[in-house]
Amino acid sequence: MYQSLLQDSKYFDLLLKLDEELAAEYRRAGCDCGGVLHSARYDRKPRGGPAGVGPTSGVRFSFCCATEGCRRRATPSSLRFLGRKVLELYSHVPGTTGYFRRSDRRFAGELHDRGIPLDIVDAAILLAVARRTIRSHDAPPLQKIATLHYFRPIIEELIAEPPPPGYIGYIRFKLAAVAPELVAAANHRLS
């Protein structure tokens, strides 16, 4: 379900459209100095994107403050860049509903804006899945994960207190049998 979505150029077009919306909102808000933001797009190839996407798909929206003496450059969050990687790992999480929500895409963009490193997000997802999976046999059945927001508390937890070295490796090892696709996707990125 997700996999075909992530490789679908229509889905990519949707991300582009959402990026345009995020960029427009950002521009309307203006610079922190009160200045007007001018468009300063630059080309960048998004990695791992599907083949056959349009010529504008590699354009990263960027702005430059028009005020003399400020000229701050700003690049709003992009779902086609970091957000895509977060959504990609999320798509391998067992026990989700199988759909992305609009708010999931926004949350992925927010993580990008805050400069949260991808390995923190990856670690949070692995840890949350481990907590769900490794539990007693007589525990009540778990609800499906309906949104990427499910991982928010654990992301915050790991930002406040990063896991000790080797811990995430241990989690990956413990999860390999129960969530092989997720671990394979995470290994591919973390190593």
The residues binding Zn ion (CB under 5 A) are 31, 33, 35, 65, 67, 70, 72
Q: How far is the CB of 111 from Zn ion (least distance, A)?
A: 25
Here the tokens at position 137 are 């046999």
Beta strands 73-74 and 42-43, pairing class: unpaired
Write the single-letter amino acid at 117: P
Q: How far is the CB of 36 from Zn ion (least distance, A)?
A: 8
Of the pair 24, 70, the CB lying nearest Zn ion is at 70
Q: How far is the CB of 19 from Zn ion (least distance, A)?
A: 22
**CB half-sphere exposure, 5, CA atoms < 13 A:** 14
Of the pair 30, 162, the CB lying nearest Zn ion is at 30
Of the pair 35, 163, the CB lying nearest Zn ion is at 35
Q: How far is the CB of 67 from Zn ion (least distance, A)?
A: 5
C-alpha gyration radius of the chain: 19
**CB half-sphere exposure, 8, CA atoms < 13 A:** 9
Of the pair 14, 64, the CB lying nearest Zn ion is at 64
- Do 143 and 98 form a contact (C-beta atoms < 8 A)? no
